[in-house]
Amino acid sequence: MMHILNKKKLNQILTGWSTKYDIYAPQKVEDYSQFLPLGTADELALNEPHNTRFPPKSFFLPQSETLLKYDHRLKQLKEVVITPKPRIIFGIRPCDAYAVKLLDTVFDTAEYTDPYWKAKRNATLLIGMGCNDPCQTCFCTTVGHGPFNHDGLDALLTECQDNYFIETFTEKGNKLFSDLPAATKDQQRQVQEMQKKAAKSMQPAFDTTNLKQNLNQSFDSKYWAAISESCLGCGICTFLCPTCFCFDIVDEVQRNERIRNWDTCMFRIYSLEASGHNPRPTRKERTRQRIMHKYSYWIDHAGEIGCTGCGRCIRNCPVGLDIRAMLRAVNTFESETVNA
């Protein structure tokens, strides 16, 4: 069933939730938007031309997170208490919600469950906002998703004139909106058409048919040296990527804590071994690792491409490297391989 909510009533519904949940939603910060604790609906920035600058992965995998505490004699372990309050991430874009679902395949496996991830995941509802006007750097349809995809979401809002139309996909999501009236058949049709139109407006950015195969074949290709030449190795593409999850574990001596911090395969020290050997000594190998991980290794691990097409790496690259152009080049670079 599709519900209808007048835009003017959004504040009321958010206030209603706030007695039970912490609500986070995109708000304007300088010239971009960012997920922040919500006060009232007029603080919302739901119509920004771009997605939030930072991906919402940090709600589940904070940039820095305490794993363990020990006492000053470096002996006893103290329990780290994570008491995640129930919370709602409101206005998350479908690409970012799907990224969280993809990360579940890393942190919540049958073999080892990451308790820190799981606790925060269980306490969180994702209420999505579909994208009526996908921006130039978005390419979700190319990687198999779409501006109104609901995978990973508890509910999805579609903005249409004065109203939001709401589809719910989980019991928890349904409960949040169950008091709202249903949309008429006509309205439903109108919403569906809008959703289709938005998806249609997005041109395929590259061909994924043989992409994995082409990437695997290009492993020793000159191509990687060529495309990584202008890369500065700053790592912003990975820090702002909603599916990048690599972390480092270090002991924070002054706080008596063992913590994990986001890390990036784009840094030299990431793979440097104590012996001095580095399997990825130059930006060539590191760029290759980033691209191969997203478009080849993820498929082996989870059966899917590990990129949701959010475009943050494109918008924020200081030298204008465009992952779409890189992948188009892989598809046409086939034969020129060198034996490494």
Partner 1 sequence: MPDLEHNPYNPIPMHIMQAYYESNDYSLKSFELSFDNREDCDEFFKKFNPGQFCQLSIFGKGEAPFGIASAAWEGEFIRFTVQKLGTFTQQIHQLKAGDPIGMRGPLGNGFPIGNWKGKNLVIIGGGCAFSTLYALTKHIQHPQNRSDFAEMIVVYGTRTSGLCMYKNDIQSWCQREDMQIHQAIDIPEEGWSHHVGYVPDVVKEVAPSPKNAVAVVCGPPIMTKFTLPILVELGFKPETIFTSLEKRMKCGIGKCGRCNIGSKYICKDGPVFSLAELQALPDDI
Which spans of this chain sit near partner 1 (rule: CB under 8 A)? 67-68, 70, 74-75, 77, 79-83, 106-107, 109, 111-116, 118-119, 216, 219-220, 245-251, 253, 256, 258, 260, 263, 265, 270-275, 277, 279-280, 285, 289, 292-293, 296-297, 300-301, 340
Q: Which is nearer to partner 1, 281 or 318 (CB)?
A: 281
Residue linked to tokens 């008491």: 83
Nearest distance in Å: CB 88, partner 1: 20
Helix (H, G, I), strand (E, B) or coil at 314: helix
Helix (H) or strand (E) holding 248: strand 247-252
- 29: tokens are 């910060």
**Is the separation of the CB atoms in 150 and 169 below 8 Å?**
yes
CB of 239 to partner 1, least distance (A): 14
The smaller minimum CB distance to partner 1, of residues 285 and 322, is found at 285
Q: Identity (one letter) of the amino acid at 19?
A: T
Q: Which is nearer to partner 1, 122 or 184 (CB)?
A: 122
Largest separation between any pair of C-alpha atoms in the chain: 69
The H-or-E segment that residue 66 falls in is strand 64-70
Task: Give the C-alpha separation, 199 to 28, whole Å.
Answer: 26
In angstroms, what is the minimal distance from the CB of 327 to partner 1?
18
CB nearer partner 1, residue 79 or residue 186: 79
Strands 124-129 and 87-92: parallel
Closer Cβ to partner 1, 59 or 148, answer by number: 59
CB of 340 to partner 1, least distance (A): 7
Cβ–Cβ under 8 Å, residues 93 and 128: yes
When the beta carbons of 39 and 84 are compared against partner 1, the nearer one is 84
Least distance from C-beta 214 to partner 1, angstroms? 14
* Tokens at 48, concatenated: 């920004």
Closest CA to 224 of 283, 295, 299, 306: 283
* Closer by beta carbon to partner 1, 195 or else 228: 228
DSSP 181: P
Q: Do β-strands 2-6 and 22-29 pair in parallel, antiparallel, or remain unpaired?
A: unpaired
Closest approach, Cβ 90 to partner 1, in A, equals 25
DSSP-derived secondary structure for 232-286: ----HHHHT-TT---EEEEEEGGGTEEEEEE--TTSGGGT--TTS--SS-SHHHH
Comparing CB distances to partner 1, the nearer of 39 and 62 is 62
How near is the Cβ of 277 to partner 1 at its closest, in Å? 7
DSSP one-letter code for 235: -
CB of 84 to partner 1, least distance (A): 9
